[in-house]
Amino acid sequence: MSISKVDICCGLNWGDEAKGKLVAHLVKNNHYDYVCRWAGGNNAGHTIYVDGKKYKTHLIPSGVFYNVKSIIGPDCVVNPESFMGELNYLRENGFDTSLIKISPKAHIVTETHINEDKEKYKDQGTTSNGIAPCYKDKYGRKGIRAESVDSLKDYLWDEMLEGNVLCEGAQGFWLDINYGNYPFVTSSTTLPYGACCLGFPPQKIDKIYGASKIYDTRSGTDPLFPESLLEDPELMSIVKAGGEIGTTTGRIRKTNWLNLDKLIVALNITGVTDIIISKIDVLEKVGLYKLFHNSDIICFENMEEMQTYITTTISGTCDYVKTISYSGNVEGI
């Protein structure tokens, strides 16, 4: 069997766009033979609800929650200890961990990488998981690959993908190593083209799902999100209503109104075909409806007005987008 089609799910903001929920929704409603992570490591944080119970993962793709083979791809970085911890957590909760595989080409995060991250990258507000030092060694051709680590032997998988494949993005467009606000970025490619490193040609890509929130958040340091945002009472009411605390770091996420100009750039560069905008209920709860467009702030009377504006603007500026959905209208999101 060869590859039938590939769907990709990516984040359009700064991570934390409910990609986990979107992937869960896609896996439940489509048939996939594989769910794959194409980049990053345990710097990511996915929250998944299965039968009403909340689960958190950082590296292992969400396919395992739905009995689908889950692959950690060649451009990912793996911390063996944290991987084993996640594996045991999933096993203890009754999930079939034999579905989880790692590319032998994935790189290993070592204790030295983690220490270097903590010492030298503090000012960038990283997740302190050794991500930048590990990719630095990889691209400097001094890294350690998963194929040489004994404890991972049973999980290695270097075969061809087949059938229907879902690629699960980590982080988001504006954390991308090329497109983000460098050096306040992560060290990998968060854009859908990066998914091709899993071993399929671009022609196989069918749908590209993009997750966005209806307001922007940033965990970690970024001059585009100054500390002063934490003093704005309206924005802080969103933090509170939206529970905007980092899954991986426990930090308060700096929050701002949706930057529609940036979202349009992200949509046009990623080629997203289906956008899902979430956390609608949060703005409804606080009763504030604002966004930035053409560098101006625009205020709306209600959510309906705001959605009409977003839908009309995206439809007029983003040729690849075929569907625009909002949470509340999509099951599980």
Active-site residue list: 16, 46
Residue 259 binds which of ligand IMP, Mg ion, none (CB < 5-8 A, kind-dependent): none
Four-point Cα dihedral 80, 86, 89, 92, nearest 10:
-70
Residue 12 binds which entry of Mg ion, ligand IMP, none, with Cβ cut-offs from 5 to 8 Å by kind? none
Given Mg ion, ligand IMP, none, residue 127, with its beta carbon under 5 to 8 Å by kind, binds ligand IMP
Per CB under 6 A, the list member of 60, 131, 282, 291 interacting with ligand IMP is 131
User: What number of other Cβ atoms are within 10 A of residue 216's Cβ?
Assistant: 27
The minimum distance between CB 244 and ligand IMP, in angstroms, equals 11
Peptide bond into 183 cis (omega under 30): yes
Q: Is 220 in the site for Mg ion (CB under 5 A)?
A: no
The region of 27-35, 45-53, 114-122, 294-302 touching Mg ion under the rule CB under 5 A is 45-53
Q: Residue 52 or residue 243: which is nearer to ligand IMP going by CB?
A: 243
Give whichever of 43 and 270 is closer to Mg ion, judged by the CB atom.
Answer: 43
Q: How far is the CB of 170 from ligand IMP (least distance, A)?
A: 6
Main-chain phi, psi angles of 312, to 5 degrees: -65, -45
Contact partner at residue 318 from ligand IMP, Mg ion, none, CB < 5 to 8 Å by partner kind: none
Give the ranges where the chain is alpha helix by DSSP (H): 19-29, 80-92, 111-120, 131-139, 233-242, 260-270, 280-286, 303-317
Residue 237, CA distances (Å) to 65, 193, 234 in order? 33, 36, 5
Q: What is the DSSP letter of 179?
A: T
Identify residues 179-218 at the interface with ligand IMP (CB under 6 A): 184, 186-187
Please tell me the number of Cα atoms within 13 Å of 188 on its side-chain side. Answer: 31
| Torsion sign over Cα 194, 199, 203, 204 | negative
Q: Where does this chain touch ligand IMP (CB under 6 A) — which range of 37-45, 69-77, 159-167, 232-240?
A: 37-45
Compute the least distance from the CB of residue 178 to Mg ion, in Å: 20
132 binding ligand IMP? (CB under 6 A): yes
Cα distances (angstroms) measured from residue 298 to each of 179, 193, 218, 255: 26, 33, 21, 17
Cα 90 to chain centroid distance, Å, stands at 20
Q: Measured from the CB of residue 184, what is the shortest distance to ligand IMP in angstroms?
A: 6
Q: How many residues bind ligand IMP (CB under 6 A)?
A: 20
6, containing H or E segment: strand 3-11
Q: Which does 176 bind (CB under 5 to 8 A by kind): Mg ion, ligand IMP, none?
A: none
What track of x and - describes contact with ligand IMP for positions 239 through 278 (by CB under 6 A)? ----------------------------------------
Helix (H, G, I), strand (E, B) or coil at 96: coil
Considering the complex, what minimum distance in angstroms separates the CB of residue 82 from ligand IMP? 13
Q: Find where tokens 């709860």 sit.
A: 285
How many Å apart are CA 219 and CA 225, to the nearest integer? Answer: 9
Give start and end residues of each alpha helix (H) in 69-186.
80-92, 111-120, 131-139
Judged by CB under 6 A, the residue of 8, 25, 32, 43 near ligand IMP is 43
Q: How far is the CB of 110 from ligand IMP (least distance, A)?
A: 15
What's the residue count for the chain? 333
Q: Which is nearer to ligand IMP, 45 or 271 (CB)?
A: 45
Among 40, 41, 45, 63, binds Mg ion (CB under 5 A): 45
Chain residues binding Mg ion by CB under 5 A are 16, 45
Residues engaged in binding ligand IMP (CB under 6 A):
15-16, 43-45, 125-127, 129, 131-132, 170-171, 175, 184, 186-187, 219-221
